[in-house]
Amino acid sequence: MFRDPIVGEFHEDAGEMEAVHTQGVWIAEFLQQQTKDLEHFWLTVTHIGDPKAAFLLVFPFTYFVCKRAGVAVLWVAALSEWFNLVFKWMLFGERPFWWVGESQLFVTTKPQISQFPSTCETGPGSPSGHAMVTAAVWWVVVASLSSFLYSRTHSWLISAAPYLLYVLLLVAVGISRIFILAHFPHQVVAGSITGLILGILLGRRVPEGRPLLFFLSISAGLLLSALTLNVGLQQLGIDLSWSITLAKKWCSHAEWIRLDTAPFSSLTRDCGALLGLGLCQYWKPGGWSLPWAPRALSLAVSSMGLYHVNRLPLPVNPQGLFYSLVFVKFALVPQIVIVLVPGLVHLFTRKKKKD
């Protein structure tokens, strides 16, 4: 069976996809039963793979190790998540936690599966955003690390080690998403492959030294193009809120439905981060040059700052205000990491010139 994106009904076609979904549910049941003792581990891994982690964790750490790699991480994270949003709107992928109930295939034999607080995401399921953004962002990180290791050791074996860790991370994130019923296996695989391709392509062109107008144009272009696609699909009679309706219907706990998992949250996050990156290039081109100790201090302070910024409660009504505040919040992220905190550290740690 498959879902008609216009009328939102199931049809007795596409038997192969039905078989893929059914097999995916049984795989999820197997994982939950066989790795139940690793539940905390899988929940931690799925948080590490969250696209927000690329902005709030991977970006600041990478930036203070290598500025160019850090900028590349933010750039790739924003664009890969935007592409993921577009793909999801066009592919109409189901999610296991609602498909089990909607398919009506498990009336007599119900799978023994459980939901978790991270399960009930409201966007379409294909491809997996966690897998896609993780694959894209961490490719930039491991490629940069591998290049550094080879320049120091001239050993292909040592320089290949980061790629092994990269594969293990993708596998772990993928399993975690299947374990919590957020994705089917084929959606994880599709996200990982697409993310890898985007990481390779986008990581080659890092927008260092670009003017503010460039980032303003990119941010506005991504926002307007996504909104245009959204309106265009709705004009064709396609209900893009279908996944939100199903998530609310089949999520076992209403409080697990969060607005920050909605498609427009990722859109405003991406556009805000790119505009914030442009403002950093405008305020302080090239960022601050700090010795290792002040840089480590900047990383620690920035991480604490981003932690508190991320935990700021945002009003969910009206939704337009919520999305606007998400935009502002993630526009602040690169400015905190690149300009504000390093600037303060430089101010308080610089050596005064002797008269």
**What is the sign of the dihedral through the CA atoms of 44, 50, 52 and 57?**
positive
Is 355 contained in some domain?
no
In a domain, 277, yes or no: yes
Q: What is the pLDDT of residue 201?
A: 95
Q: Kindly give the parts of the chain with pLDDT less than 50.
A: 1-2, 5-13, 353-355
Residues 164-204: tens digit of each pLDDT: 999 999 999 999 999 999 999 999 999 999 999 999 999 98
Residue 154 dihedral angles phi and psi, to the nearest 5°: 55, 30
Task: Please say whether the beta carbons of 198 and 80 come within 8 A.
Answer: yes
The answer as to whether 35 is a domain residue is yes
SS3 30: helix
In a domain, 354, yes or no: no
For the entire predicted model, the pTM comes to 0.92
Nearest residue to 269 (alpha-carbon basis) of 220, 191, 331:
331
Full residue range of the structural domain in which residue 15 is found: 2-349
DSSP letters for 79-97: HHHHHHHHHHHHH----HH
**pLDDT digits over 322-332, tens only?**
999 999 999 99
Catalytic residue among 47, 130, 186, 308: 130
Residue 40 is a catalytic residue: no
| Residue 210 known to bind ligand | no
Cβ contacts of 189 within 8 Å, gap of 6 or more: 131, 174
Beta bridge partners of 3: 10
254 in a domain, yes or no? yes
- Answer yes or no: is 190 within a domain: yes
Distance CA(114)–CA(198), nearest Å, equals 33
**Given the residues 183, 253, 308, 346, the one annotated as active site:** 183
Name which of 96, 27, 104 is nearest 247 in CA terms.
96
Q: Determine, yes or no, domain membership for 13.
A: yes
Preceding amide of 127 cis, omega within 30: yes
Tracing tokens 């390093």 back to the chain, one arrives at 342
SS3 call for 11: strand
What pLDDT does 316 receive? 87
| 130 is a catalytic site residue | yes
- Structural domains counted in the chain: 1
| Tokens found for residue 256 | 């697990």
